[in-house]
Structure 1
């Protein structure tokens, strides 16, 4: 669920803020030390039910208002952290489990190069996401069998069914560009011809619903792969990324030289990580918070980010909140920027 506004009271026992966010892309900027990164992390922590981070932050109250006119309130009272949901003027307390279901949210902290696994081990982030991508692609390549659909069949005449099959085939072709495709049963073709539908409509209609399920399960992942490669290859200079036949992320210089991932520059690594998390970890109508995307990036690369963030907002239908010190990240999108203004001292 998208966020409409954020109100913070008593941050560091000193600041009050009110932030009215855009439904898609918002840049939040301020000088150092006013709480921009802290607020970003607080939003994420509240929506993930992470009390440990919030308990260490001095604040009185945070109110996150959503586009459906509901509001999530986190408040410290007598040293205790309380959560409640407000809707239609009614308030109800929330458990940690209920908090996690409110909004699909991911947070990209400034420290992105290393990540801590659930078992406590600290690992290289780029190696980790490359392995994650490999495993996901291998699973997609192995999952080629079409299974009977449980969808309820809708009424369609022959022309409507034929058109739907052609539309599904176009989506299958798009998925194939990402490196995987389903197996069409022996003796059948997809899309079927008009004569196929006349001769064996029921069989092809069942096939179409199975293909529809496959597309539903794989289209967004395929889209993420294709968009990811397009963005990275438009930004990188003198080198390109691709996904090998077996699902490995590979980097090649324009002269044909292969380059290990660990030989990329810090800025290139930041770009790979940032767009990977945004594309592969965000969901429809989710929220993405990117803290200090400018780290290690040349000014010319910083100026490209806003357009790509905006494109992802439209394609993936996510809300992206960017916390930045850099005017170059905002670039020509100051109409989407809000300043974190100190309300009191």
Structure 2
């Protein structure tokens, strides 16, 4: 019984999103059947495709500030097990941007309805951010942000003299602060809602993908950021770190197995029935193939590898080799997930590139031209960088079983590349078991998948505000 319950929880999926008065005007419903890997949103500019993705991401990450800043009346999330999570504003005046005398934008209620259980509610206006004022004061000072604490939960912005709440400070200067000040669970937040949202990791891929802007500690608020790094460079460095982590894990596994190898070899004196010569040669061949793949990313040097002798193996040789193959399988398995992603990344990207090839190794990304010249990944065209950055993000940064939100994947991509995008998504979903909500203007992106689209219509009959 317990196993069935835990399996059901792990397989819980988002199957519908319904939002009312998005941007103060639009009502949208997006059905996302549990057996589908992706759903496609399309519609004219201004109907809120991007805002809907941002609202989904803000809700699942419990980003109270972003929820508060998004103009909408209510939103409901329906899950495959019958659970319904809703977020509802307390008054029309709570929609941000509706006047100079803006009401409390934190005034919204989150409700969870679970089958067979009562309703669980959380009122955002009753729960201040879970931020230690003293720690926040120190961080604001270190980042040279022009605010001064007045009292508990109240701050003065020295640039304009305005009095701000803690949440308004976090919102106004959020890009200058570490994530630990922005993503903490609010005080008093119900554990049941937190657990539900935590089961589905959400990864938002926004339209601005090629430049990563960083605001180092010590930069003054209002000043241009001191570092603008191409995302392709950041991801190259990220891959190098991931490879180092995999090597470190492999080293730990290898050391443990090597220490126990003599004991295990000497204790297993019988030749088990499954240890046949054919089985040994088959396993050895498959492991050799994997070693060759690892040489391509500079993890192993297979030049010294010796083939098995071209003669029948002695019983003692079979027993030694079988133990060796067991250990090698465990050692190589530390790289399996990484290799699967590398293989698909290179296959997708290199099928798009003309007269050049993407190579990955311990130094990160390398691009080699047909003439054998190595160029920097940052020297690729904008379209090539978009293809590389988007594919890497999907394969390496989206967690397993996550919900990935992609805004306008067609940016800078050739029409032929756009037509292949959703085919690539299907292959990526097979590796990391993710599901995708894709917002697009491009019929080429949709291609043959019109049956999996949801049109977000203007709905002028619901016109109220934001004209």
Correspondence for 2:247 = 141
Q: How far is the alpha carbon of 1:88 from its aligned partner? A: 0.7
- SS for the counterpart of 1:159 is coil
| Alignment equivalent of 1:33, drawn from 38, 46, 64 | 46
Separation (CA, whole Å) in 1 of partners of 2:48 and 2:449: 22
Separation (CA, whole Å) in 2 of partners of 1:309 and 1:160: 41
- SS for the counterpart of 1:303 is helix
Correspondence for 1:305 = 421
1:204 partnered with 2:323: yes
Give TM-score scaled by structure 2 length. Answer: 0.62
- Report the CA distance shift for 1:172/1:52 in structure 2 as closer, same or farther (over 3 A): farther
| Alignment equivalent of 1:242, drawn from 359, 380, 386 | 359
Give TM-score scaled by structure 1 length. Answer: 0.81
Correspondence for 1:48 = 61
- SS for the counterpart of 1:256 is coil
Correspondence for 1:62 = 75
Correspondence for 1:7 = 18
| Range with greater deviation from structure 2 (75-84 or 8-17) | 75-84
- SS for the counterpart of 2:199 is coil
- SS for the counterpart of 2:274 is helix
Q: How far is the alpha carbon of 1:124 from its aligned partner? A: 2.4
| Alignment equivalent of 1:330, drawn from 446, 462, 465 | 446
- Report the CA distance shift for 1:284/1:34 in structure 2 as closer, same or farther (over 3 A): same
Q: What does 1:141-180 align with in structure 2 at a 5 Å threshold?
A: 141-145=247-251, 146=254, 148=256, 158-159=273-274, 170=286, 173-174=289-290, 177-178=293-294, 179=297
Q: Which runs of 5+ in 1 are unaligned?
A: 150-156, 184-188
| Range with greater deviation from structure 2 (217-226 or 231-240) | 217-226
1:170-211 per-position Cα deviation (integer Å, ceiling 9, x unaligned): 47844751437689xxxxx99xx894698579x939x83x66
- Report the CA distance shift for 1:56/1:26 in structure 2 as closer, same or farther (over 3 A): same
Correspondence for 1:132 = 238
- SS for the counterpart of 1:101 is helix
| Range with greater deviation from structure 2 (115-124 or 220-229) | 115-124
Contact 1:104 1:283 in 2 (8 A): yes
| Alignment equivalent of 1:266, drawn from 371, 382, 387 | 382
Correspondence for 2:396 = 280
Q: Which has the larger radius of gyration?
A: 2
- Report the CA distance shift for 1:170/1:105 in structure 2 as closer, same or farther (over 3 A): farther
Correspondence for 2:337 = 220
Separation (CA, whole Å) in 1 of partners of 2:215 and 2:198: 20
| Alignment equivalent of 2:412, drawn from 296, 300, 319 | 296
- SS for the counterpart of 1:284 is coil
1:110 partnered with 2:215: no
1:82 partnered with 2:109: yes
Separation (CA, whole Å) in 2 of partners of 1:118 and 1:44: 23
Separation (CA, whole Å) in 2 of partners of 1:65 and 1:169: 48
CA RMSD of aligned residues (A): 3.5
Separation (CA, whole Å) in 1 of partners of 2:83 and 2:283: 38
Contact 2:230 2:378 in 1 (8 A): no
Q: How far is the alpha carbon of 1:291 from its aligned partner? A: 0.5
- Corresponding residue pairs, total: 330
- SS for the counterpart of 1:296 is coil
Correspondence for 1:18 = 29
Q: How far is the alpha carbon of 1:14 from its aligned partner? A: 1.5
1:1-28 per-position Cα deviation (integer Å, ceiling 9, x unaligned): 5321111122122111111114202111
Q: Which runs of 5+ in 2 are unaligned?
A: 1-11, 92-105, 122-189, 218-226, 258-271, 302-306
